[in-house]
Amino acid sequence: MEQIASAGGSASPPTAVTPDPSFLRQVEKAGGATISPCFQCVKCSSGCPLTFVMDLLPNQVIRCVQVGLKEEVLRSDTIWLCASCETCTTRCPNGVDIAHLMDTLRQIALRENVTPSQPGIVATHAAFLAEIRARGRVHEMFLVARHKLRTRNWTRDVALGWEMFRRGKLKLLPKGVKGRKWLKERVPRVN
Amino acid sequence: MDQVLSYYPGCSLHGTASEYDASTRAVCELLGIRLEELEDWNCCGASSAHAVDHELSVLLPARNIALAAKADKDLFIPCAACYGRSKVAQAAMTEDAGLRAKFGEAVGMEYRDGVAIRSMLDLLADPDVLQRIRAGVKRPLRGLKVACYYGCLLVRPPKITGAADYEAPETMDRVVEALGGTAVPWSYKTDCCGGGLVLGRPDVVGRLIDRLMTRAVEAGAAALVTACPMCQGNLDTRQKDAAQALGRDYQLPIFYISELIGLAMGHPKPEAWWKKHLVDPRPLLGTI
């Protein structure tokens, strides 16, 4: 069973590092947000609803990228536990799009085959994109089935699934999009 | 007044959120708004495409926008996530000529825009629509105290949504008051419910839901009201587990705003909507 950490920021980055700008350049080139204006006011982390379960706080992620702590960032729970709620991006006084930065970091982590710290969440993305590849639309029961095949967690939510089925919330047959040929070529598989 | 809108339901409204789809269609009919479902729409990519592939997360909604441009009507998207992703894609396509070129290459159709994308909040913020709702109330929701819960993507980021009151929105509160109900003031209107994390980390989502439920109860609400299938789904289906895990005893119905409008405007068959809820709202509705 996964445990919830009692407080955010428990896995603090090292206190002394030799700065290496190559990771920052890689992030910026990959379309990541411009993060240089960050002056560590911590407003992002103060308003983040997920800090209670993060190992690096959002402002620490930014600092780590700036000084080149690539491994620490790409292996962190934080990049996957960010719920993309956009509170940080909305409130940042320096216009840093932190939610977009998190997306870019996830994309780099997947591209470089970094073992994800949150396999259950990556499995959701994999299952979701597999649904889009297959039909152009997501069928929720198929989505859950794909997620279970990846995580091998067969028992979770079975009772809930039955309750939803009983109330007619689950659609049985999937419907595909006619214009979906391009999706087979364009939608990536997530390992 | 007769009004015709292109309608993008998205995957959830064709599945677990079918009562949001049904009540939205019913309310629009009552308001004299005709909805034409966008033909051959595809998934917007929701909470996953943007985490994996930025370009794809733009191309998916862009195809729907191009379809809507062909239909030449405003595009109404009641799902908050579909709305958010579509607005992000529209802005990206406007700014980035490279993406527009890639669209033609990848999707094999021409990108056209000029479409106004409207959320449920956009629709309800229209003073004329609010007036029609107020005038059409047949069964006032007197005595119903609800907390209006807006979540993330209807309002954030404001540079995309254009929301002026993104920290403390009031649109649904005003509608509830127009229906004769009471919208309680509370501070968690736009806090996140965990949305897309629910399959991977239901324990984390439970903690987020618990915060929302506890604060809504403290504010004196007997139910919550949403305009997002993920918020409604999370709060309705996961509150039992959250309460059990954290030793609480809340059990609050979670309404779609369209359901309450339909009910108050005298829609003949709201029963079909209530049946889809895990927390049955009928005992509460019996008291008003």
pLDDT tens digits, one per residue of A23-54: 999 999 998 778 999 999 999 999 999 999 99
Residues in chain B predicted with pLDDT less than 70, given as ranges, are 1-2
Residue A107 and residue A128 in one domain = no
Q: Above 70 in pLDDT, residue A5?
A: no
CA quadruple B63, B58, B120, B200: dihedral positive or negative? Answer: positive
Q: Above 80 in pLDDT, residue A11?
A: no
* Enclosing H/E stretch for B3: strand B3-7
Q: What is the pLDDT of residue A33?
A: 75
Residue A49 and residue A107 in one domain = yes
CA of B197 to nearest chain A CA: how many angstroms apart?
Answer: 6
Confidence of residue A1 (pLDDT cuts 50, 70, 90): very low
Q: Tell me the C-alpha distance between B93 and B114, whole Å.
A: 12
Mean pLDDT over each residue of chain A, to the nearest integer: 91
Residue whose entry in the numeric block shows the structure tokens 């705003």: B257
Q: What is the pLDDT of residue B133?
A: 98
Residue A28 and residue A105 in one domain = yes
Can you give the residue ranges of every domain in chain B?
3-120, 139-285
Q: What is the pLDDT of residue A10?
A: 57
Residue A162 belongs to a domain: yes
- What is the rounded average pLDDT of the residues A72-95? 97
Its CATH architecture, for the domain B139-285, is 3-Layer(aba) Sandwich (3.40)
Q: What is the pLDDT of residue A12?
A: 67
Beta-sheet pairing, B117-118 with B33-37: unpaired
* H helix runs in A18-97, sequence order: 22-29, 43-47, 58-67, 70-74, 78-81, 87-91
The string of pLDDT tens digits covering residues B214-253 is 999 999 999 999 999 999 999 999 999 999 999 999 999 9
Domain that holds residue A39: 22-111
**In terms of pLDDT, which residue wins out, A9 or B237?**
B237
Q: Which residues of B touch A164 (CB under 8 A)?
A: 16, 237, 278
Q: Which of A111, A135, A159 is the last residue of a domain?
A: A111
Residue A99 and residue A45 in one domain = yes
Q: Which amino acid is at A41?
A: C
Q: Above 50 in pLDDT, residue A2?
A: no
Q: Which of A76, A111, A146 is the last residue of a domain?
A: A111
For A190, the closest of B52, B204, B277 (CB atoms) is B52
* H helix runs in B72-184, sequence order: 80-95, 97-107, 120-125, 127-135, 158-161, 171-178
What CATH number does the domain located at B3-120 have? Answer: 1.20.1050.140
Chain B residues 176-195 with a CB less than 8 Å from chain A: 190-192, 194-195
Q: How many domains does chain A have?
A: 2
Residue A60 belongs to a domain: yes
Q: What is the pLDDT of residue A7?
A: 45
Q: Which residues of B243-282 are buried (b: 16+ CB within 10 A; e: fewer)?
A: beeeeeeeebbbbbbbbbbbbbbebeebeebbebbbbebe
Residue A153 and residue A84 in one domain = no
Residue A53 and residue A132 in one domain = no
Q: Which residues of B touch A127 (CB under 8 A)?
A: 199
Angle (CA) B226 B202 B152, round 5°:
35
Q: Which of A71, A92, A111 is the last residue of a domain?
A: A111
Spatial contact of B128 and B138, defined as CB atoms under 8 Å apart: no
For B16, the closest of A50, A169, A181 (CB atoms) is A169
Quick one: DSSP state of residue A173? S
Q: Do domains B3-120 and B139-285 have the same CATH topology?
A: no
Residue A85 and residue A147 in one domain = no
Residue A100 and residue A43 in one domain = yes
Dump the DSSP string for B66-83: HHHHHHTS-EE--SHHHH
Residue A100 and residue A129 in one domain = no
Q: Tell me the C-alpha distance between B235 and B241, whole Å.
A: 10
Pick the residue of B38, B40, B43 with the most A CBs within 10 A to test the interface with A by mutation: B43
Nearest to B11 by CA among B58, B77, B69: B77
Is B51 an 8 Å CB contact of chain A?
Answer: yes
Peptide bond into A19 cis (omega under 30): no
Nearest to B144 by CA among B284, B34, B1, B33: B284
Q: What is the pLDDT of residue B277?
A: 97
